[in-house]
């Protein structure tokens, strides 16, 4: 943490995003922080293979705060860089980058931006399956008429997305079980201090009726074997979560109520071959995937034709409010930088998220 600098004198913010900041946003920053230089470069770091080639060494040498996607300067090119605000909630693409691994630069995610829309996607796909909407749409296209309780939702990864899912699921009458890798035995330990829209989510961690935790296989097994109707995978991709749900885990899910699985985290959290087997043998009721492994999914991949599956192209987090929420997190972190405080949504170099 740096000493307080209320006006952010000597700081330079580079907004490296493929959209224009809202009207008045940059002027508002300059009014709040008179010493802050603000530069906007309209550049899509997700689709472009490099950083903007027209930015010179002199341009980068004075940048202290950077809003970006998955492209970064070297430490040598940006020696004064202190804070990198990511556009995404996931941080798996920075874990092996030297700018993250070999420095103390703060990297902060957009965690909290996605909760409302992803919760809607999860509930939408689950209810579509519950009410057999894909089946009836198929009958509709064929011009045919077909004949035709309370549920328990288990949320693996109880961060900002999981907490908003819990809020919506509870409103629909579902019981919620939560799972985190670290124990949360006290009310204070169950709090979440990441970004949340007012009135949404579960910042105090009060909604789950049971809370599971741990990293050992038997601890995860106890959660998966707890009679879940819906399993929501909302964990980041780290070495610990890669392949977390595979054959043995699907066997556990098959022992209870035959779970429906929704994955909105990262595709490699699930073993794809094991998922296909679980779907086609009715070990699970179905699956809704907004992320896959591989991604994008090749047109001839067998996952497309697995039973009872809904696949969308990594769009559950899309929202017309996305950029406004992202800039709200950036504003909070600029405020904390000016006060010499630690940042919101800072990625832990130990945990990888």
Q: Which residues of 293-326 are buried (b: 16+ CB within 10 A; e: fewer)?
A: beeebeeeeebeebebbbbeeeebbebeebbebb
The catalytic position among 11, 40, 314, 324 is: 314
The residues, ordered by sequence, that sit 6+ positions from 75 with a Cβ below 8 Å of its Cβ are: 81, 98, 99, 102, 103, 105
Angle of helix 133-141 versus helix 115-130 axis, rounded to 10: 60
Residue 301 bears catalytic tag:
no
d(CA 118, CA 344): 21
SS3 assignment, position 330 = helix
Buried b (16+ CB within 10 A) or exposed e, 105-124: bbbbbbbbbbbbbbbebbbe
SS3 of residue 350 by DSSP:
coil
- Active-site residues, by number, are 314
């Amino acid at each position: 943490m740096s000493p307080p600098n209320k006006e952010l004198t000597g700081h330079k913010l580079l907004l490296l995003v493929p959209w224009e900041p809202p009207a008045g946003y940059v002027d508002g920053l300059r009014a709040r922080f008179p010493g802050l230089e603000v530069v906007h470069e309209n550049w899509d770091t997700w689709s472009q293979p490099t950083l903007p080639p027209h930015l010179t060494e002199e341009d980068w040498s004075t940048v202290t705060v950077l809003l970006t996607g998955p492209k970064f300067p070297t430490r040598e090119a940006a020696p004064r860089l202190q804070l990198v605000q990511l556009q995404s909630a996931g941080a798996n693409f920075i874990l092996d980058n030297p700018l993250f691994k070999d420095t103390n630069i703060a990297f902060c995610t957009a965690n909290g931006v996605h909760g409302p829309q992803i919760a809607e996607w999860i509930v939408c796909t689950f209810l579509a399956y519950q009410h057999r909407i894909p089946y009836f749409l198929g009958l509709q296209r064929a011009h045919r008429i077909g004949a035709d309780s309370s549920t328990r939702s288990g949320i693996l990864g109880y961060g900002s997305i999981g907490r908003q899912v819990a809020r919506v699921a509870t409103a629909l009458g579902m019981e919620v079980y939560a799972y985190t890798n670290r124990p949360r035995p006290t009310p204070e330990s169950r709090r979440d201090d990441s970004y949340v829209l007012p009135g949404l989510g579960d910042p105090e961690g009060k909604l789950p009726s049971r809370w599971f935790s741990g990293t050992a296989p038997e601890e995860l097994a106890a959660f998966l074997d707890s009679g879940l109707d819906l399993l929501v995978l909302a964990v980041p991709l780290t070495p610990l979560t890669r392949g977390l749900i595979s054959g043995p885990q699907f066997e556990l899910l098959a022992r209870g109520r035959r779970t429906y699985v929704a994955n909105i985290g990262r595709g490699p959290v699930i073993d794809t071959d094991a998922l296909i087997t679980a779907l086609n043998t009715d070990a699970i009721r179905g699956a809704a995937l907004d992320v896959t492994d591989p991604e994008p999914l090749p047109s001839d991949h067998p996952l497309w034709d697995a039973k009872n599956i809904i696949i969308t192209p990594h769009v559950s987090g899309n929202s017309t409010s996305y950029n406004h929420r992202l800039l709200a997190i950036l504003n909070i972190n600029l405020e904390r930088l000016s006060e010499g405080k630690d940042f919101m949504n800072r990625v832990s170099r130990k945990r990888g998220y």
